[in-house]
Amino acid sequence: MPELPEVETVRRHLAERVEGDVIREVEVRLPRIVRHPAPVLFADRLRGQRIQRVDRRGKYLLFRLDTVLLVSHLRMEGRYEVAHPSEPELPHTHVVFQLASGRQLRYADVRQFGTMDAVVEGEPLPNGLAELGPEPFDPALDGAALHERLRHRRAPIKSLLLDQRQMAGLGNIYVDEALFAAGIHPLTPAGAVSRRQCDVLLREIRDVLARAIREGGSSVRSFRDGYGRHGGFQIQLAVYGRAGQPCVRCGQPIQKIKVAGRGTHVCPACQPVVSGMPVGTGVHA
């Protein structure tokens, strides 16, 4: 699933290409992609709307139109492209926006898990978006605020960081990378993470996300940006996807374990266990 750096990369490329353009028509080929309102009304709401700005909140893309907020979640493999109608479409193109410039904004999704909502004033935000926690780069979020969110929680720190209600935009890749950089084992009870460790952890979260954004995200599976290019950060990953390989710091083999059902990568030497950590985690190389 695209995480914050990948969605931010897509946002930047879409902003370059479609901001200021006007949606003339909308063709919804796979109705279940559209959650709200019904596909026909969805198309009616967007027709004639100018794309004022393309924003991001967590893993959501927000197309701010004249009077409508178009909320798009890419889920597993959703992908946008801007193309001329004469250019071949990507396979599994499910929604096509005809633009006044003569181009098309196309949404393709092999897995068909992506969603779109067209929200007008007075309507609630889609479930998920409304419950998001602070952005990692929010100036109001500091180590003390993060510690306050964690200090009464017994769940593993990784589970809490994956919870979009605690911090928006993080996923499996960048949580593993940030916890490694901070020297915190993913199974550490969240409440056992000290105030000082929260300072370090937040700093490392911001650092890994900033570096990933600069590289256009990570293409560990199928991610491509708005121009069809792969991300480049995957070659800098320190632990994610490196099970059995030597740690870049100490040389110990990276282990892969399960945390809340998610494959998780950890260096047993650089990320030591702490008391109170859950057992039976299914460690394997």
Cβ-contact 114, 107 below 8 angstroms: yes
Query: Taking the CB of residue 219, how many other CB atoms lie within 10 A of it?
Result: 18
Instruction: Note whether 109 and 33 are within 8 A (CB).
Output: yes
Among candidate residues 3, 77, 81, 204, the one labeled active-site is 3
Terminal Cα-to-Cα distance of the chain (whole angstroms): 23
Q: Are 52 and 64 in contact (CB under 8 A)?
A: yes
* Catalytic entry in 17, 59, 79, 256: 59
The residue among 27, 50, 49, 51 whose CA lies nearest residue 40 is 27
Cβ atoms < 10 Å from Cβ of 274: 13
Could you say which of 75, 211, 249, 262 is catalytic?
262
Tokens 């499996």 sit on residue = 172
Whether 148 is a known active-site residue: answer no
Residue 3 appears among annotated catalytic residues: yes
Q: Is 59 a catalytic residue?
A: yes
Q: What does R_g of the chain's alpha carbons equal in angstroms?
A: 20
- Known catalytic residues are 2-3, 59, 262
